[in-house]
Amino acid sequence: MPYMIDPGTNPNGEEFEAYNIRRWGGSGWTRHMKSEGKKDGATFKSWKTWPNTFKAHQLIRLAENKGVDTNVSNKALFDAVYEEGRNISSIDTLVQIGTDKLGLSAEEVRDCLEFDRLGDEIKSDINAGRRKYDISGVPFFIIGAEGRKGRPYAMSGAQSPSTFLETFETVLDEE
């Protein structure tokens, strides 16, 4: 489910430090995240831009509609922003990622993004997530399928492995 941390981010993205100073007074909040990320191979070594992710969400949806797993799309975008220092607010950058990493047609990606062909769908999904699950930040996890015996569980923020395990066990017990 798509989510935008700050829909008010400049459509072209913003310089990382300037954005953090404007929004939160500085980027100190990222130190712990970067430290923890290194343990799992996410070095955040080239995080230069705070992107507006609206068009990136459209690329993910386009790729998904073409059979590309969303995990593959998300990894390509995360690597581009955090490890390669690229601005995924840029249509040109997204076209390159779409063709090089996701196997999509450059023409189809460009057309989709320039004309926001999936924009209304993405906005609708973001709003639905806010209403249904009260999503107000990332990461956000929904565990358990809709329509099953028990209700889905929602967790906001980084969680410990033991919290996930406990939730998975609860969901399985409800089956």
Query: Residue 78, class by beta-carbon neighbours within 10 Å (0-12 exposed, 13-18 middle, 19+ buried)?
Result: middle
pLDDT in tens, 98-153: 999 999 999 999 999 999 999 999 999 999 888 888 887 777 888 887 666 767 88
Q: What is the pTM of this model?
A: 0.85
Q: In whole angstroms, what is the distance from residue 151 CA to residue 133 CA?
A: 12
Mean of the per-residue pLDDT values for the chain? 91
pLDDT of residue 98: 98
Model confidence at 93: pLDDT above 90: yes
Coil, strand or helix at 122: helix
Question: Is the pLDDT at 91 greater than 90, yes or no?
Answer: yes
pLDDT given at position 92 = 98
Q: Which segments of 36-124 are extended strands (E)?
A: 49-50
Residues 6+ apart with CB under 8 A from 72: 63, 101, 102
CA distances from 41 to 32, 49, 71, 79, 129 (A): 14, 20, 16, 11, 29
Helix (H), strand (E) at residue 48: none
Contact 12, 90 (CB under 8 A): yes
Q: Which two tokens stand for residue 78?
A: 């995360």
Using DSSP's 3-state secondary structure scheme, residue 28 falls into coil
